[in-house]
Amino acid sequence: MSDCLFCKIIEGEIPSTMVYRDEQTYAFRDINPGAPTHILIVPTKHIDSVNFMINDDEPLIGHLFTVAKQIAAQEGLAEKGYRLVVNTNAEAGQTVFHIHLHLLGGRQLLKMG
């Protein structure tokens, strides 16, 4: 999608600090981090949000979590802990409508639930 911020980042039209890339996934550091480590893990396929996923996207979404696990280990977060967040739509905090995981860590995070 030509107007999608993350699609432009994936295509290299907008600079980013890449952490990981493969055919299905692009991961980069958030420019406004919510934790000492804040990495966005984005599928290269444009999907607006969880609400727009189709059954065929299931392996791709699973791959995002596998990549998140690898990056967490690479960043030294696996032992102490990290959080994975997916926001869906505006009231949940989604500001870029291209599905993505937030990987957060590097400090004690507020408990949820």
Question: What residues are annotated to the active site?
Answer: 100
34 contacts 93 by C-beta, under 8 angstroms: no
Counting Cβ atoms within 10 Å, is residue 2 exposed (0-12), middle (13-18) or buried (19+)?
A: exposed
Measured in degrees and rounded to the nearest 5, phi and psi for residue 56 equal -65, -15
Which residues lie across from 82 on neighbouring strands? Answer: 105
